[in-house]
Amino acid sequence: MRWRYGYTVLALCTLAFAATMVARLAISPVVPIVRADLGLSNTLVGVALSGMWAAYALSQFPSGVFGDKFGERRVILAAVGLTALASLLLALSPNAIAFTLFAIVLGAGAGLHYSVATTFITKQFDDIGRVIGVHVSGGPVAGLLAPPVAAALGAQYGWRVALLLGAAVAIPVFVVFWWRIDPSPPERPAQPVRERFELDPVLELLRRPEIAYTTLLAVLGAFTWQATASFLPAFFEGYHGLSPAMASLFFSAYFLVHGATQPLTGALSDRFDRDTAATLTMALGVLGFSLLVVSDSAATWTGAVLLVGVAMSWGAPVQSRFMDHLSREERGAGFGLVRTVYMILGASGSVVVGLLADLAGWNVAFGLLAGVMAVGLLALLANRILTLGL
């Protein structure tokens, strides 16, 4: 198959997404060292990390607006450049307050990438499900590689060197992206940015039936993904009594499957339709989380983790569904808007599941995740029945 420019865009946008994710995921493994060195309390660590992820979510909508105004290439370069700069500043943080502020800057800068890059990629291809899946896989790949590397660097050289990992990855990606990606013409260069933030157009888009329905699916998926990414190792340790090493092994397997299957679920949504692929992911999620709770054998846990990894690849078909219902002119800001909405709402997954684990136990907490996937599955089946007029 002959190489063409669209593949260059896809490859470098995926690398850029991985770079922004590496910088964020490099922090958690060295939190105990940072806390001891800078005198951070657990509460302040939580504020810093929550602030980073909240800033990431809130950046999604403005990034789409900026992409329409200035062109996707400039915004993606800004995202990768700010990621590198914020990682460097984090590594040089003199105190707890500076660390917290720089973590928030990192989240805001990294958040400029995804919505704009997804819009940019979809302009290059007709079968967008597969390529969105490839782009999304940059995150799980970073999740598989960044934490152990950061932990090793932190143990050997200290937390400041570990946090330089984000800059070390982002800087070469910035250079290659600047070199190989052509300037991209903006969709709305003449429209004032402030007009894009007016409330009525925003509400009109979110009230459209297909957008509202797809946002519901994305909120359910994001809720479950956030909780899984936050607590899967703790679940294995606290509920099944595994060692931290074994729990981490299952967590790595989850990320590996999650990353590998994103392009497959996206391609499935191209081959059949978005709802068929999304239905498959939700059904596998119900089965996978249920098996995690009720099973007591390593073999079954392995199969359940594989099922959950595929289930959390809901992003490729669901995000493609958004694109199907947004015009070319709406995709930049519109996709950024729905990303901000469903990521903010979905972020509650960590809080709810953590609280349930404390109050009622891990079986109830992860049983809830099976229930959330079941709600998504029922919504998809009901929509299919209504569409077919049965």
* Nearest CA-CA partner of 134 in 149, 146, 123, 122: 122
The alpha carbon of 125 is separated from its chain's Cα centroid by a whole number of angstroms, namely: 22
Q: What is the pLDDT of residues 58-88, one digit of tens each?
A: 898 889 889 989 999 999 999 999 999 999 9
Instruction: Enumerate the domain spans of the chain.
Output: 1-194, 198-390
Architecture of domain 1-194: Up-down Bundle (1.20)
Cβ 319 vs Cβ 132: under 8 Å? yes
pLDDT at 11: 95
Q: What span, in angstroms and rounded, lies between the C-alpha atoms of 344 and 54?
A: 7
The alpha carbon of 98 is separated from its chain's Cα centroid by a whole number of angstroms, namely: 26
Rounded percentage of the chain residues whose pLDDT exceeds 90? 49
For the chain, give me the number of helices (H) and strands (E)? 20, 0
pLDDT at 1: 46
Check if CATH label 1.20.1250.20 holds for domain 198-390: yes
* Nearest CA-CA partner of 133 in 278, 328, 230: 278
SS3 95: coil
Cβ 92 vs Cβ 160: under 8 Å? yes
Low-confidence ranges of the chain (pLDDT < 70): 1-2, 42-43, 389-390
In this chain, the answer to whether the domains covering 1-194 and 198-390 adopt an identical fold is: yes
Q: What is the pLDDT of residues 223-281, one digit of tens each?
A: 998 888 878 888 888 899 988 778 878 888 898 898 889 889 999 999 888 999 999 99
In SS3 terms, 301-335 reads as HHHHHHHHHHHHHHHHHHHHHHHHCCCCCCHHHHH
pLDDT at 42: 67
pLDDT at 389: 63
